[in-house]
Amino acid sequence: MSAPHDALIVLDIGKTNAKLALIDAAGTVLAERRRPNAVRTDGPYAHHDTDGLWDWMLGTCREFAPLARVSAIVPVTHGATAALVDDGGLVLPVLDYEADLPGLDYDAPPYAETLSPSLPAGLNLGRQLAWLHARFPDAFGRAHHILMYPQYWAWRLCGRAASEATSLGCHTDLWDPRRQAYSSLVARAGWTALMPPLAPPHAVLGTLLPDVVAATGLPPDCRVLCGIHDSNASLLRYLGNGEGTVLSTGTWVIAAAFGAPLDGLREHADMLANTNALGQPVACMRFMGGREFGELAGAAPVPCGFDDLERLVAQGTVALPCFAATGGPFAGRAGAIAGPHPADACERYALATLYCVLVTDYCLDALGAAGPLAVEGSFTANPWFGPLLAALRPAQAVSYSDDASGTTCGGWMLRYRDAPPPGGSTVVFARTPEGFAAYKTRWRAALARGQ
């Protein structure tokens, strides 16, 4: 009988869904399981179902254990989220970043220092922490650590606390991207002692705790890596390749432009500097594209044909931002449809696609994005998003990643650092509906008029 494959498990917690993927050393996905990432509304505020995720993760790992020899687990999660823990566990539930934070007088550090724009609800992690500190001072005072969300899961798995720059640098107000150091807020708020030592995302923090081994059947020497912010996981395969742009798509569409100047970032447009896995600042701009696509396309999207796109362009049906309550360059505007409304589900899908293409193109222009444009994530399943984007951006060679989840590939790369990344990319050729350039011009003119 042959020896089992060496493999790792990537714990990928996105804002909408959570996924566990078992991937071998060659990059082959051996098994994958998903579940919704529900937000609970019981308790003192809206919070993440960490216990439900934990139980699901343990059970799924037990299912994976006989399939391969799992040598590592890598946590990859969405940003703007942190856990307050003592030696025994959470001292407060993990706050959902879309929750309202009433009654807070928050003194944010200046944008010039953090390149972290002021955002609604709890999208600035510093605002969340300040609200929890003010509202629940006794519980906050019992905390031994503030853990970014990937490192919270690593801590639960192996017991060692760490901090990590890609999550600290994700519009938190806690990080100075130019200095790659904590912002003035951390010391001013008295949180410095709660921040564990910094570690790179690939660092091995330890091995599985005995109770995790017993619950999962995984090897006792299975290593736990520090982990990484999900959008930065998507960037990993492109680091060191010179200029270019990566479009990470999912609940959020995040454009990361390598080589774009930080001095061109503007707070009012929700432009920010993230920190990549090499500890370098990267100019970024984003909007809640997946959420907005769902609002326009409906709960059960029906993919459209090219004729549906042509018909909407010809009749001048446009969607004007925005259709999500949080983030993006048009936050605060109420979304509207101008022109004849979509007649059926296919036309709704077409309108959602056109809208997301136009907003993406707007963001890329604002960033000064240049070089090859790689699209990662869920929008690669849309047959028209890439071709329409390529039509608007002929100077950028557009490609779709063959991996629909760049986050999973990034987690794999943290474990197998010397191996070439699995998969590849497919060149996307432009498809241009007649009158598309004029359609874009009318859309941007409507934006300028504030419609």
Assess if residue 48 is contained within a domain. Answer: yes
Assess if residue 282 is contained within a domain. Answer: yes
Looking at the fold, whether 52 and 172 belong to one and the same domain comes out as yes
Looking at the fold, whether 299 and 169 belong to one and the same domain comes out as no
Of residues 173 and 299, the one with the higher pLDDT is 173
- Is it the case that residue 81 has pLDDT exceeding 60? yes
Instruction: Note the pLDDT tens digit of each residue in 217-245.
Output: 999 999 999 999 998 998 898 887 666 99
Looking at the fold, whether 236 and 160 belong to one and the same domain comes out as no
Query: Among 192, 226, 260, which residue terminates a domain?
Result: 226
Assess if residue 10 is contained within a domain. Answer: yes
Q: What percent of the chain has pLDDT over 70?
A: 98
Predicted pLDDT of residue 325: 81
- Is it the case that residue 86 has pLDDT exceeding 90? yes
Type and span of the H or E element at 17: strand 17-24
Identify the domain containing residue 248 by its residue range: 231-448
Q: Which residues contact 66 (CB under 8 A, 6 or more apart)?
A: 217
Predicted pLDDT of residue 119: 86
356 pLDDT band (50/70/90 cuts)?
very high
Predicted pLDDT of residue 41: 94
Looking at the fold, whether 207 and 63 belong to one and the same domain comes out as yes
Looking at the fold, whether 191 and 292 belong to one and the same domain comes out as no
DSSP per-residue codes, 24-42: ETTS-EEEEEEEE-PEE-S
Looking at the fold, whether 203 and 261 belong to one and the same domain comes out as no
DSSP per-residue codes, 68-108: SEEEEEEEEE-SS-EEEE-SSSBSS--B-TTS--TT----P
Per the CB < 8 A criterion, the answer to whether 166 and 235 are in contact is: no
Predicted pLDDT of residue 3: 47
Assess if residue 18 is contained within a domain. Answer: yes
DSSP per-residue codes, 307-324: HHHHHHHHHT-EEES--S
Looking at the fold, whether 279 and 426 belong to one and the same domain comes out as yes
Predicted pLDDT of residue 247: 93
403 pLDDT band (50/70/90 cuts)?
low
Looking at the fold, whether 302 and 213 belong to one and the same domain comes out as no
Looking at the fold, whether 212 and 336 belong to one and the same domain comes out as no
d(CA 194, CA 187): 10
Q: ∠ CA 115-116-119 to the nearest 5 degrees?
A: 150
Which residues partner with 400 through β-bridges?
375, 426
Assess if residue 1 is contained within a domain. Answer: no
Per the CB < 8 A criterion, the answer to whether 244 and 373 are in contact is: yes
Q: Which residues contact 24 (CB under 8 A, 6 or more apart)?
A: 5, 6, 7, 30, 68
Which residues partner with 17 through β-bridges?
36
Predicted pLDDT of residue 444: 96
d(CA 384, CA 50): 36
Predicted pLDDT of residue 424: 78
4 pLDDT band (50/70/90 cuts)?
low
Of residues 281 and 240, the one with the higher pLDDT is 281
Predicted pLDDT of residue 31: 97
Predicted pLDDT of residue 112: 96
Number of other residues whose CB lies within 10 A of the CB of residue 415: 22
Query: Among 168, 197, 226, which residue terminates a domain?
Result: 226
Query: Among 193, 211, 226, which residue terminates a domain?
Result: 226
Token readout for 61 is 């790992």
d(CA 76, CA 336): 35
Predicted pLDDT of residue 405: 64
451 pLDDT band (50/70/90 cuts)?
low
294 pLDDT band (50/70/90 cuts)?
very high
d(CA 275, CA 281): 4
Total number of residues shown for the chain: 451
Give the CATH number for residue 154.
3.30.420.40
Indicate the pTM of the whole model: 0.88
Looking at the fold, whether 365 and 248 belong to one and the same domain comes out as yes
Looking at the fold, whether 264 and 407 belong to one and the same domain comes out as yes
Instruction: Note the pLDDT tens digit of each residue in 102-125.
Output: 999 999 999 999 999 998 889 999
Residue range 327-346: mean pLDDT, rounded: 93
Predicted pLDDT of residue 327: 79
Domain total for the chain?
2
177 pLDDT band (50/70/90 cuts)?
very high
Assess if residue 413 is contained within a domain. Answer: yes
Looking at the fold, whether 179 and 302 belong to one and the same domain comes out as no
